[in-house]
Amino acid sequence: MLDRSTYAALGEARIFEPASLQKALRERKRRSLAGEDGNLMILAADHTARGMLAVGNDPLAVADRYTLLDNLLRGLSVPGVDGVMASADILEELAWLGALEGKVAIGTINRGGLKGALWELDDRITAYDPDHIASAGLDAGKLLLRIEFTDPGVARTIEMCGAVTTKLADQGVACMIEPLPYLKDDNGRAYLDTRDEELIRAVAIASGLGSSSAYTWLKIPATPRMAEVAAATTMPILLLGGDPGEKLPEVVAGWESAMREPNVRGLIPGRALLYPHDGDVEGIVATAARIVHGGST
């Protein structure tokens, strides 16, 4: 667990040695993106940068930074966990704490579509940009692309995602795109469209972004029709987790089934693993790592 005195020292470093956070991330020991089996088990922790703080009935579950970092340290310590995806604040904090040595570090890019905002689908770059993904020594960048057919902000987001995909490919850096179909309610608020046909369409659109697809990975939900969804692309796919609450066993079973598809190459869940209903972070993370890498990890 994260020692309180170490956590306090992190706060002091922000005041008296701010460059130490950047240095820790930039100079950490690096590794290849995918391991020998070509699979990845990544913890997602970029929710706070978009104002997503709720888990279950607690609207501020993810707000406490000590708890978030403690849960991440516990998760990253589990054998078979390859790394983390987060905004700069969290990646720099984890690097300063020494938790990213030999781990994959993925920087989130567009967090401007704040949860619940009327402009939510006009999702602009407010975290990492492609140049700083490279200069910070990160292993990949992550884009969120929510597709809805009435909001003009979606067109701007698609254009931006295409440009970022191109720029990362030019630098030889992986781009992980999360394409999700959305709808709007009567009040104009966006919500996830759970139809598999629309997820397949979103996967097809994301696969065509940029001037090169050579470094593109996709990040999507698991679905009972995973064979059809995965067949829409040759790109490697990572599965997200969402906030399943007490339905986590169903989510885990879905991951196990989806991993049978040859281009489904791992998991990238966040709250499902970092804030499990029973509080056993290490236990559920170990289960996820076994699903991804097999064996006794």
* pTM (predicted TM-score): 0.96
Number of domain units in the chain: 1
Distances (CA, A) of 149 to 180, 203, 215, 219: 12, 15, 27, 21
Query: According to DSSP H, which parts of the chain are helical?
Result: 4-16, 19-26, 65-76, 88-96, 130-135, 152-170, 196-207, 226-230, 248-258, 271-274, 281-293
Residue stretches of the chain with pLDDT short of 50: 296-297
Q: Which residue has the tokens 């030889």?
A: 172
As given in the structure block, the two tokens for residue 251 are: 């989510």
In whole angstroms, give the CA distance from residue 276 to residue 270.
10
| Per-residue model confidence (pLDDT) at position 290 | 97
pLDDT of residue 295: 64
Predicted local distance difference test score (pLDDT) of residue 242: 78
The CA–CA distances, whole Å, from 88 to 81, 111, 135, 167, 203 equal: 20, 12, 12, 19, 27
Q: What is the pLDDT of residue 245?
A: 76
Check which CATH number belongs to the domain holding 200 and give it: 3.20.20.70
Residue 130 belongs to domain spanning: 4-293
pLDDT computed for residue 277 by the predictor: 87
Locate all alpha helices (DSSP H) within 176-237, ordered by sequence. Answer: 196-207, 226-230
